[in-house]
Structure 1
Amino acid sequence: MSRPIFSAFRAAFRAGGAPLRPRTSPRSAFNFTAGLGAGAGFTFGSRHASTVVSTSMRSTLFRPITILLAFAPILCGYLGVWQVQRLKWKLALIDEIDHNLTKAPIALPPHVNMSALPDFAFRRVLLKGRFRGPPILQGPQTRDGIAGYHLIVPFDRSAEGGSTVLVNQGFILTAEGDAIREGRKPCPGLGANGGPGDEVVIEAMLTKIDHDAKSYFVPENKPEQNRWFWKDIPDMAEWVGGEARGVQPVLVDVIDHGDSGVPASLRMANGVPVGRPPQIELRNQHMTYAITWFSLCAATTVMLGLVIRSGRAKKIPNRRRPFGRP
């Protein structure tokens, strides 16, 4: 090839004397116009930037962190609404308790109307009768950081023409409860041989039936071993005799006014059950929980927006540079 022709080709491939730079992408734009005159060139177009942006957004949306952040605001918002509902329920419960506690004690009817029982929750009642076995140990429970049981004993009111109900005498230590279950110690309120005790009058509080008393983490009760992990009142009433012995599924808690002057700790050490105080203090942290969940909902929503925004690919300008130009 002659030198003039070789020089012309070199000028076409090396515009301005600059070396030819290889393209990193096989789809780069090529414009064969250098040295050929106006309108004599042809172009191979590259893909537009929208394809890159679409691919990048799809990969961002299906990343595990994005999926997690997409569900987090929904979950936190749901929990926040649930806590608001719980707050309304707790406030109504506190009002109900305060209203009922201000009323004077009433005599528990001989036969309790089970359909009307929820309307008398947390009412103070007076009962006359005798304790009789078998005792029920429900727990583990704690009082002032000490482990123990609630001692629940049937209370026979047949002498007054009434039914038998369940009476929670109060809290006893674990060692005392185990000894009563194993028969090594007599149950408080019963006779020395385990028979019915003396006739007594007690002041107690009607409990509210809790249909959600058993949570997911609480074990199943074992009646055959007299191990009751949660208060299943119908099963407890059936275990001590049921309808055949005139037992109604009604549970009352003995009220401890502290009139004896003996500290509760000393009474517990001596194996004496300690009843519940006449006042009820309910924790109400639902507003704090609701604010926390709604704050997390807002924070995770902002994080989700930032992740999606950062995942958007920058548009690649669709420039067509002359063939061989840098």
Structure 2
Amino acid sequence: MTEGPNIPSAQVEGGHPKGGRLWRIMVVTVFLFLFAGFMGLGIWQVQRLAWKTALIERVDNRIHAAPVDAPAPDVTITRNDHEYLRVKATGRFRHDLETPVKAVTDLGPGWWIMTPLETDRGFTVLVNRGFVPAEMKLPESRPAAPEQAAVTGLLRLDEGHSGFMRDNDPAANNWYAREVKAILDARGVTGETASYFIDAQPTADTPADSYPRAGLTVVRFANSHLVYALTWFGLAGGSLFGMVLVLRERRRHRQNV
């Protein structure tokens, strides 16, 4: 029997001496790229977790702190520094300019009653006096409210529109989101106005069954960043494990050829 030529083992892979080496380099590069990407996403979620935890703690402290004077219109209001700040204001309610805004609460569907408050400090701030059921939308369906008032509540900024929320229609007086400027403009409020509104809280002498029902502000922050971080880190570890399996299977295949 005639023996074939003695081919170096390095030439068997891929038809040329460097075929096996290039294949391993490509596999390692791809899996290390995946590992780095997953680790980066995991680290980003850890950073988001720290930010969200600090935000929740900061908001919780604001909600339970002693109220401060409602910021004047010349103060720059930001979500990071002011949202859910507990504030107070005194002045005269303009009940003739109230605006009902569609609401869904733990008490069912109904309306938020948004009423301008002409403060003793010379500017107007919109106040969410609270929730009323559908049958109490009109002012005459509710007990008369005093004009002079001292309000304590949480500073809120405009609501963002979700994909399921309809756009406000000021011309038809149909309101689905609490948008300060749009509501004040529609009611013809002039002069200095605050860029935020106040979610009123009930006072100690407010009857529990009174309407508008104040104090229904929901303060809830989704915080799933730890779960996301663990998922990304798990995928990073899985990519390394996958690389080892692929290289090991390739080696086993070569040994059986």
Same fold (TM over 0.5): yes
Query: 162, 168, 181: which is aligned to 2:122?
Result: 162
Superposed CA deviations along residues 243-290 of structure 1, whole A, max 9, x for unmatched, are: x45433221111135754536xxx5xxxx2332269967565543443
Q: Map 1:58-69 to 2 at 5 A.
A: none
Following superposition of structure 1 onto structure 2, how do residues 46-61 of structure 1 map, counting pairs within 5 Å?
48-51=11-14, 57=23
The number of residue pairs the alignment matches comes to 246
The change in CA–CA distance for 1:220 and 1:73 in structure 2 (over 3 A counts) is farther
Question: SS at the partner of 1:93?
Answer: helix
User: Is the contact between residue 138 and residue 229 of structure 1 (CA under 8 Å) also seen in structure 2?
Assistant: yes
Q: Is the 8 A contact 2:63 2:154 kept in 1?
A: no
Shift of 1:152: 4.6
Rg: which structure is higher?
A: 1
Structure 2 segments unaligned to the other structure (5+ residues): none
Q: Which residue of 2 aligns with 1:19?
A: none
Shift in Å, 1:157: 0.7
Instruction: Tell me by how many angstroms 1:130 deviates.
Output: 0.7
Look up the SS of the partner of 1:157 in the other structure: strand
Alpha-carbon contact 2:93-2:149 (below 8 Å) kept: yes
| Cα contact 2:155–2:199 (8 A) shared by 1 | yes
Contact 2:130 2:216 in 1 (8 A): no
Q: Is the alpha carbon distance of 1:254 and 1:72 closer, same or farther for their aligned partners in structure 2, counting shifts above 3 Å?
A: farther
Matched residue of 2:254: which SS? coil
User: 2:175 aligned with 1:222, yes or no?
Assistant: no
- Which aligned pairs between 1:129-148 and structure 2 lie closer than 5 A? 129-132=92-95, 133-139=97-103, 141-143=104-106, 147-148=108-109
Instruction: State the distance in 1 between where 2:225 and 2:140 align.
Output: 40
Distance 2:63 2:188 in 1: 31
Give aligned-pair identity as a percent: 22
Q: Give deviations 1:105-135, integer Å, cap 9, x for gaps.
A: 33436x4333267645412313322133241
Looking at structure 2, the residues matched to 105 and 213 of structure 1 have their Cα atoms a distance apart, in angstroms, of: 25
CA contact (8 A) 2:99 2:183 kept: no
2:53 corresponds to: 91
* Superposition pairs of residues 163-312 of structure 1, within 5 angstroms: 163-173=123-133, 175-176=134-135, 180=137, 185-186=138-139, 198-207=147-156, 209=157, 213-214=160-161, 217-219=163-165, 221-224=167-170, 225-226=172-173, 230-241=177-188, 244=190, 246-256=192-202, 259-260=205-206, 262=208, 272-276=211-215, 284-303=223-242, 305-307=244-246, 309-310=248-249
User: Would you say the 8 A contact 1:172–1:273 is kept in 2?
Assistant: yes
* C-alpha separation in 2, matches of 1:81 and 1:188: 55
TM-score (norm 1): 0.55
Look up the equivalent residue of 1:51 and give its one-letter code. G
Letter in 1 for 2:196: V
TM-score by structure 2 length? 0.66
Within 1, Cα distance between the matches of 2:180 and 2:41?
30
Structure 1 position 204, deviation (Å): 1.6
Q: Against the structure 1 CA distance between its residues 220 and 204, is the aligned structure 2 distance closer, same or farther, given a 3 Å change threshold?
A: same
Q: Secondary structure at the match of 2:139?
A: coil
- In 1, distance between residues paired with 2:35 and 2:91? 56
Matches for 1:2-21 after TM superposition, within 5 Å:
none
Pair 286,314 (structure 1): closer, same or farther in 2 beyond 3 Å: closer
For residue 151 of structure 2, what is the amino acid of its counterpart? I
- Tell me, in whole angstroms, the C-alpha distance in 2 between the residues paired with 1:149 and 1:75: 47
